[in-house]
Structure 1
Amino acid sequence: MDQANNQNKKISKNTPFINDRIRFPKVRLIDSEGEQLGIFDTLEAKRMAKEEQLDLVLISDKSDPPVCRIIDYGKYKFSQEKKAKEARKKQQNITIKEVKMRYNIESHDYNVRLSQASRFLQSGDKVKTTITFKGREIQHVDLALDLLKRMALDLEEVAELQQSPSKEGRSVTMVLSPKK
């Protein structure tokens, strides 16, 4: 008995309500062409679907009465999967790249970090710029803030400031995002 219940639970979670699994007394029916036929008794709707050799599929159980459609379930499932795949393709993955430096960085090294950040921004990634302190260097937070402000000004053509420079423990960070 328990095994049969477990199988029913697996089926009910993964598959939508089709044909005999629809347990509502009345449903709003849409035919295979997309025209609304009206409100029917569920048994009558199942009979109509069987006559057309198609499936009765529950589209929305949130409305009153629930909406069912007479369609070929295999084609419907395929189109839903195809739409989901297209949506995943169109999603844009934005990653955060990090550029680390010290507050007393030399000008050549600063230019290297600047070009790295610019390259990251132009490829569509966000850039987190971090300046770390060791020992007593923590006294020079103002120099680090000035350096980050300078970097934001140098990159203002390709980036916009998303998170202004802020102190976090023994470091100061700033986040830049690419301009639209």
Structure 2
Amino acid sequence: MSKDLRLNDEIRVREVRLVGEEGEQLGIMAVRDALNLAVEKSLDLVEIAPTAKPPVCKLMDYGKYKYEQAKKDKEARKKQKSMEIKEVKLRPNIEDHDFETKARSAQRFLSEGDKVKVTIMFRGREVTHPELGKTLCLRLAEFCKAESSIEREPKLEGRNMIMILASIKHD
């Protein structure tokens, strides 16, 4: 159902198809009569299908309905995990130990379900040897192959080479 439902006096049509609070059909009636019935039962008249001919309205406690919807939305948000892109920055002439430290960080990010953006930063004339950066990217992908797959191949963008690794979830 839409967030901007019209209710009670906001409904501007001559007649509506009325649905009771338990979902039972009460038939087609004038809006005035439907409003009187809603007031009698101390409920709200809510337009749930404005495009139907005639529009469909339901008798319900609108405050309670909004509260229930908010609760459902909050529960749905709680269940979904937001995935982030974490970044690992390397240099083409990195030492083995430093590489392994960065690679373990990437592995940890991937095991937590995040994506990893691998950036090789070239300085000065290093950019004339992009194959070194590509080799380094593929070496990192090989190191993390149990947790990830390459989502985007290594590509030179200006003075940086970028590759994206996506996590493979083992549920």
Normalising by the residue count of structure 2, what TM-score does the alignment of the two structures yield? 0.89
Partner in structure 2 of residue 48 of structure 1: 37
Aligned residues: 167
Q: Which moved more, 1:60-69 or 1:104-113?
A: 60-69
Provide the rounded CA distance (Å) in 2 between the counterparts of 1:170 and 1:67: 61
Partner in structure 2 of residue 11 of structure 1: none
- Written as runs of structure 1 = structure 2, the 5 A alignment for 1:38-77 is 38-77=27-66
Provide the rounded CA distance (Å) in 2 between the counterparts of 1:44 and 1:144: 76
The structure richer in helix per residue is: 1
Partner in structure 1 of residue 88 of structure 2: 99
Could you tell me how far 1:69 is from its partner in structure 2?
0.8
SS in 1 for 2:51: coil
> Any stretches of 5+ residues in structure 2 without a counterpart?
none
SS in 2 for 1:105: coil
Provide the rounded CA distance (Å) in 2 between the counterparts of 1:173 and 1:15: 44
- Written as runs of structure 1 = structure 2, the 5 A alignment for 1:157-168 is 157-168=146-157
Could you tell me how far 1:81 is from its partner in structure 2?
1.3
Output the amino acid matched with 2:168: K
Q: How well do the aligned residues superpose, as a CA RMSD in angstroms?
A: 1.7
Output the amino acid matched with 2:81: Q
> Residues 123 and 21 from structure 1, CA distance in 2 versus in 1: closer, same or farther, beyond 3 angstroms?
same
Say which of 143, 146, 164 aligns to 1:154: 143
| Structure 1 stretches of 4+ moved >4 Å | none
- Written as runs of structure 1 = structure 2, the 5 A alignment for 1:104-123 is 104-123=93-112
Normalising by the residue count of structure 1, what TM-score does the alignment of the two structures yield? 0.85
Provide the rounded CA distance (Å) in 1 between the counterparts of 2:163 and 2:88: 10
> Any stretches of 5+ residues in structure 1 without a counterpart?
1-13
Deviation string for 1:9-54 (max 9, x for gaps)? xxxxx97422111112222221100123333322222122122221
> Residues 95 and 66 from structure 1, CA distance in 2 versus in 1: closer, same or farther, beyond 3 angstroms?
same
SS in 2 for 1:167: strand
Q: Which moved more, 1:128-137 or 1:91-100?
A: 91-100
SS in 2 for 1:103: coil
